Amino acid sequence: MSDATKHVVLLVGSPKGLEKSRSSRLARPVVDGLERRGWTSESLHLHAEVATEEGRERLLGAVDRADLILFAAPLYVDSLPAPAIRGLELIAARQRTDGVERAPRFVSILCCGFVEPSQNDTCQRILQRFADQAGFEWVTGVSLGGGGPISKRARSALGILTEALDLEILVPDEVDRLTRKPAMPRWLYIIGGNVMWRRWAKEYDARDRLRDRPYRRPDS
Amino acid sequence: MDREALLLDGGRDDGDETRDTAALAVELLGADGWRVTHLALREIEIAPCFGCFGCWVRTPGVCVIDDAGRDVARRMVQSDLLVYLTPLTFGGYSSELKKAVDRLIPNILPFFQSIDGEVHHVKRYERYPRLVAIGVAPSGPVDPEDEELFETLVHRNAINYRAPSAAACVIAASDDDAVRRDRIARVLEVDAGGGS
């Protein structure tokens, strides 16, 4: 690391926020690892920040201070949750309007509810286009699938990512290798997931209504 | 029975980005016999989905948030054609369009199945509308990379929201009227009329 203290800004694009979201729990070890290497950090929850004028100014101010932006979000219908897109729109508009010359690095961590991490690929490309168009230096996108707690492999990948970010070297292919493989076989995910939904609905006494069709067309 | 089309207009701010294109799409569909509901989403309060899965396990098929998002979800299922209109935003959708798209998940079931070697959700309804998406590049010519990304996103959405078919196109705000009319007519599969 160079002499000057580096600053990482964590942007969390999950509605569940900085404490409870899986996105935040995935990104936090990276931020903590960078802090142990002497970095400073700040963390913002995009849903909260974009909702107020004060928050929007805070968001843009944080981006101005960043040497590295770590963006973490869940996959929502092949893309980002709407408030996370709003945050990116604001940042990109500001970068374009003000002709900002600095080019902080940009890293994304995406997690989807399907077992295949590859289902994040379209959204990673959207984030890369954002980085290009907003004048950031795209570093990499880490994609994780659903299924159980954060795996040992994922933790290991995030550790390698942290070191590469600190040393400002290319992120080793090992990160991709460790995160691209689904956490379990597809058939097992489907069976286990379907059992889980039924159990969850039972808690709300809704198990027998799971297949309700409240908006069915009159002619169908 | 009339064919129903739902146009979700994701133009931001004052709507300048999509207003002309929305008017053109409504005109072309109307001339082809469609009954069109045009929702300018910037004018409609729709809370963001907060990922609680209540629409799947608590009030199956209905979002737990009681606002206009429910109405959009109902209209989607009861349409024959769903049209997304959006300023092209990093190759994807604007936040205005996405706030509505995120609230459509009650219309599929929580259960998983394998489709073409990937996990996706099972249908809740027997029928879903065809999906057409129109992206408007706000400035300059259309970047081919953005266009390809937009088409990929729309086809991915069609899988997840179980559209029987899908199509997408990107037009530039600077395109002349005849070009825009022709491209929009083609993606909507309607006649371009006298303006082309």
Contacts with B113 from chain A: Cβ below 8 Å? 190
- Which residue in A77, A79, A206 is closest to B58 by CB distance? A206
HSE, side-chain direction, 13 A CA sphere, residue A214: 17
Segment B63-72 mean pLDDT: 98
Q: How far apart are the first and last CA of chain B?
A: 29
Segment B129-147 mean pLDDT: 93
Please state the domain extents for chain B.
Answer: 3-195
Question: Rounded to 5 degrees, what angle do the CA atoms A20, A204, A188 make?
Answer: 70
Specify the pLDDT at position A99.
Answer: 63
Q: Please give, rounded to a whole number of angstroms, the shortest distance from the CA of B66 to a CA of chain A.
A: 14
Catalogue all structural domains in chain A, each as residue range(s) with its CATH number: 7-183 (3.40.50.360), 185-220 (no CATH)
Give which of B56, B57, B72, B122 to mutate to test A binding, by max A Cβ within 10 Å.
Answer: B57
Q: Please give, rounded to a whole number of angstroms, the shortest distance from the CA of B176 to a CA of chain A.
A: 25
CA A182 – CA A184 distance, rounded (Å): 5
Q: Which CATH architecture has domain B3-195?
A: 3-Layer(aba) Sandwich (3.40)
Which alpha helices (DSSP H) does chain A contain, by range?
Answer: 17-20, 22-36, 46-49, 53-65, 82-98, 121-134, 152-167, 173-180, 186-203
- Which residue in B96, B110, B160 is closest to A77 by CB distance? B160
Segment B32-58 mean pLDDT: 97
Using the Cβ of A96 and the Cβ atoms of chain B, whether some distance falls under 8 Å is answered with no
Mean pLDDT, chain B, as a whole number? 95
- Which residue in A78, A197, A219 is closest to B56 by CB distance? A197
CA B196 – CA A209 distance, rounded (Å): 50
Which alpha helices (DSSP H) does chain B contain, by range?
Answer: 19-31, 54-57, 68-77, 95-101, 144-160, 177-188
CA B141 – CA A93 distance, rounded (Å): 19
**How is chain B split among helix, strand and coil, in percent rounded to 5?**
40, 25, 35
Cα-based distances in Å from A149 to A34, A128, A184, A199: 23, 27, 12, 19
List average pLDDT for each run of 10 residues in chain A, which is 220 residues long. 82 94 95 98 98 97 96 97 98 79 91 96 98 95 87 95 97 95 93 97 97 89
What is the pLDDT confidence band of residue B194, given thresholds at 50, 70 and 90?
low
- Which residue in B51, B119, B153 is closest to A79 by CB distance? B153
Specify the pLDDT at position B140.
Answer: 76
Using the Cβ of A209 and the Cβ atoms of chain B, whether some distance falls under 8 Å is answered with yes
